[in-house]
């Protein structure tokens, strides 16, 4: 081959290489630009950030903002430790849950937007999607997709007829598996990995199919992939916290596994971890169930609202809960293992 031909060959290859790199960068930019729309609103002095979502894209930000500003106490659907939750219905198909948080410290605010941008990237069928947020000088709003069936806590500990109608055994099993898959995604597939730190029945919401969606990352602290824990002051909810958390204040994925175990017991027994009857007898839901299991009487602990249930499957879920509630975090399974156990038992 002549030198000229080799030179031509190298030039063509180099040009093609550069063009392909430029094309890839262009496509990545387009994808990134589509991911979120940032709208500064002079109307209210805040910043509205909307993540990709069919419902949100079809509405003008000004109109959306006007609807948000029109929310009042009659639109409240719940409240928690971090703020009040409002219902915002756009039309028959789309509705949002708007969580209003009071403005935190300047230090918290700096991390706030970064954390929310990461949360906007989290997409999983068992996680409540964050559709956007609004940051203003005196308050912040988190815009979530509305979960039409509310929280597991409300149904499980609410009116008996509704509980019987909505929470039969197959639905409870589906919820247990959904939460396990959602948590497994947060712990192992998200980059950076996420420890939830406040798994409880009021943070498990139910979509129109009664599919479980893990919600409320208000307490979640994002970890770098190579870190196995984060250290903070003790947070979370009494009754769900792993014993080691009180001693060390270290949040770990195994702490979430413990809280998940408590939710499993709640699904099985229909009792709150802080049920008054336990406090009166100086015991706890976890201790009571462990004792019942030792006596091989777990069927007596099953929620009376369950008209019928497959005894073997229920027993199996008790054993999964028992593993999640091991006192030594090293003896607890990971959420991937829990999800696999529940999937395999269903297939068998």
Ligand X SMILES: Nc1ncnc2c1ncn2[C@@H]1O[C@H](COP(=O)(O)OP(=O)(O)OP(=O)(O)O)[C@@H](O)[C@H]1O
Residues annotated in a binding site for ATP: 100
Task: Pick one of 126, 140, 184, 202: the residue that binds ligand X (CB under 6 A).
Answer: 202
Quick one: tokens of 282? 């100086």
Q: Does residue 80 bind ligand X (CB under 6 A)? A: yes
Q: Does residue 144 bind ligand X (CB under 6 A)? A: yes
Say which residues have a Cβ less than 8 Å from residue 345's Cβ, sequence separation at least 6: 313, 316
Active site residue 198: yes
Closest Cα partner for 198 from 151, 166, 162, 160? 151
Task: Pick one of 115, 211, 216, 275: the residue that binds ligand X (CB under 6 A).
Answer: 216
For ligand X, the closer of residues 115 and 198 by Cβ is 198
Q: Which of 198, 256, 275, 303 is catalytic?
A: 198
CB 219 → ligand X: shortest distance, Å?
7
Say which residues have a Cβ less than 8 Å from residue 236's Cβ, sequence separation at least 6: 197, 198, 219, 245, 255, 259
Task: Pick one of 55, 71, 125, 150: the residue that binds ligand X (CB under 6 A).
Answer: 150
Burial per residue of 156-176, b for 16 or more beta-carbon CB atoms within 10 angstroms, e otherwise = bbeeeeebeeebbbebbbbbb
Count of residues engaged in binding ligand X, rule: CB under 6 A: 22
For ligand X, the closer of residues 151 and 259 by Cβ is 151
**How many alpha carbons lie under 13 Å from residue 332 in its C-beta half-sphere?**
25
Task: Pick one of 205, 214, 264, 320: the residue that binds ligand X (CB under 6 A).
Answer: 205
| Residues of each annotated binding site | 100
**What are the angstrom distances between the C-alpha of 63 and each of 59, 118, 185, 316?**
7, 26, 35, 51
Q: Does residue 324 bind ligand X (CB under 6 A)? A: no
Task: Pick one of 128, 180, 289, 341: the residue that binds ligand X (CB under 6 A).
Answer: 128
Residues taking part in catalysis: 198
- For ligand X, the binding residues (CB under 6 A) are 77-82, 85, 97, 99, 128, 144, 146-147, 150-151, 154, 198, 202-203, 205, 215-216
């Amino acid at each position: 081959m002549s030198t000229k031909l080799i030179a031509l060959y190298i030039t063509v290859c180099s040009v093609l290489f550069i063009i392909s790199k430029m094309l890839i960068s262009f496509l990545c930019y387009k994808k990134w630009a589509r991911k979120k729309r940032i709208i500064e609103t002079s109307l209210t002095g805040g910043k509205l950030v909307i993540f990709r979502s069919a419902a949100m894209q079809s509405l003008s930000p000004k109109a959306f903002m006007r609807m948000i500003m029109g929310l009042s106490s009659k639109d409240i659907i719940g409240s928690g430790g971090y703020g009040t939750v409002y219902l915002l219905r756009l039309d028959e198909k789309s509705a949002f849950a708007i969580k209003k948080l009071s403005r935190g410290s300047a230090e918290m605010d700096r991390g706030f937007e970064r954390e929310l941008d990461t949360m906007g990237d989290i997409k999983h069928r068992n996680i409540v999607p964050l559709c956007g947020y609004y940051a203003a000088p005196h308050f912040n709003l988190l815009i979530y997709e509305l979960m039409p069936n509310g929280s597991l806590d409300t149904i499980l500990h609410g009116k008996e007829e509704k509980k019987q109608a909505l929470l039969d055994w197959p639905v409870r099993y589906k919820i247990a598996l959904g939460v396990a898959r959602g948590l497994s995604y947060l712990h192992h597939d998200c980059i950076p990995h996420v420890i939830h730190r406040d798994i409880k029945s009021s943070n498990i919401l139910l979509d129109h199919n009664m599919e479980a969606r893990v919600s409320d990352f208000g307490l979640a602290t994002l970890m770098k992939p190579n870190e196995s824990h984060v250290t903070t002051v003790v947070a979370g909810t009494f009754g769900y916290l792993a014993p080691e958390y009180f001693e060390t204040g270290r949040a770990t994925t195994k702490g979430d596994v413990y809280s998940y175990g408590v939710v499993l017991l709640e699904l099985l027994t229909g009792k709150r971890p802080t049920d008054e009857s336990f406090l009166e007898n100086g015991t706890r839901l976890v201790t009571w169930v462990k004792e019942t299991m030792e006596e091989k009487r777990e069927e007596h602990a099953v929620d009376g609202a369950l008209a019928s249930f497959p005894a073997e499957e229920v027993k199996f879920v008790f054993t999964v809960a028992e593993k999640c509630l091991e006192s030594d975090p090293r003896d607890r399974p990971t959420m991937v293992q829990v999800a696999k156990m529940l999937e395999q038992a269903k297939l068998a």
